[in-house]
Amino acid sequence: MFQDRLNDIAGRVEQRLQDALRDAQDHDVTQAMRYALRGGKRLRAFLVVEGACLHGIEPDRSMYAAAAVEAMHAYSLVHDDLPCMDDDDLRRGQPTVHVKWDEATGVLVGDALQALAFEILADPVTHPDPAVRVALIAGLARMSGVGGMVLGQAQDIAAETAAEPLTLDQITALQANKTGALFRWSAQAGAVMAGADPTPLRQYADALGLAFQIADDILDVEGDATKAGKRLGKDAGAGKATFVSLMGLAGAKARARDLVAKAEAALEPYGKAAENLRECARFVIAREM
């Protein structure tokens, strides 16, 4: 049930994103944008759609906000892969954008994808109430900027040259920004669209985002690079502190399980209607890629 739902949302969101570029001028940048938008698990889109369903909003209505956050996520990956950042040559099993095209194209593609996210949210088709659209835009701007994802990336870069490895509390704060911020926006988007209290979904997302990152650190140690579609073991090779290096594999796995339990507990107000979100929490620590 969960995997079918995840796959269905992923397919619909990808089509929505490709449709958003249907009338764009044919250019290397546009072609590279389409390339960057292909594939992925679409967990952030899943959170948007499922959170919206809890508030009576049908997927056809929430799919635009779901597409917007996936465009923002794609931008972050394109820029994260650049030589001046994490310098990766493989993403989702394919050459990264700057490898397939060039570094300048990678920069421009990331810029354009970020703009696309806000363009989608600003469209009345996303929500008929301008105030709601502004709230979605403002929230995504905060979560993707210096109050969230960009700050986390800056903290991550600084950690590479720090005199001392980060502490567990510092890594937790870093990942709450770099990875957790978009999870937080995604989970709360449906409540924002419905004018409802987003607190339970924010608590769910905070636990989920941290569990996701711990699972990533575990996969970086014992995962299969072919299944992951990217290089593994980079953090250990660079001597960076991770959840695994600080807690050990067993400790990291136990912490991830505790966070999943916390995420599930946050969903209690929604009863059985939130089962797909509970399954999502279990999925993030059971995935192989």
Convert the pLDDT of each residue in 149-170 to its tens digit.
999 999 999 988 888 889 999 9
Q: Which of 91-105, 123-137, 228-242 has the lowest mean pLDDT?
A: 228-242
Quick one: how far is CA 102 from the chain centroid? 24
Dump the DSSP string for 31-52. Answer: HHHHHHTS-S--HHHHHHHHHH
Cα gap 45→54, rounded to integer Å: 14
Check residue 20 and give left, alpha or beta (phi > 0: left; psi -120 to 50: alpha): alpha
Percent of the chain at pLDDT exceeding 70: 93
In tens, the pLDDT along 198-227 reads: 999 999 999 999 999 999 999 888 866 655
Tokens of 285: 């620590």
**DSSP E strand boundaries for 84-165:** 90-91, 94-95
pLDDT at residue 161, as a whole number: 85
Cα gap 232→235, rounded to integer Å: 8
Cα gap 127→45, rounded to integer Å: 16
Torsion of CA 178, 204, 211, 72, to 10 degrees: -30
Task: Indicate if the pLDDT at residue 237 is higher than 70.
Answer: no
Q: pLDDT grade, residue 178 (50/70/90)?
A: very high
pLDDT at residue 231, as a whole number: 64
Sign of CA dihedral 200, 56, 64, 288: positive
Beta-carbon-side half-sphere exposure of residue 173 (alpha carbons within 13 Å): 10
DSSP state of 163: S
Quick one: how far is CA 135 from the chain centroid? 19
Q: Which of 7-16, 38-47, 237-246 has the lowest mean pLDDT?
A: 237-246
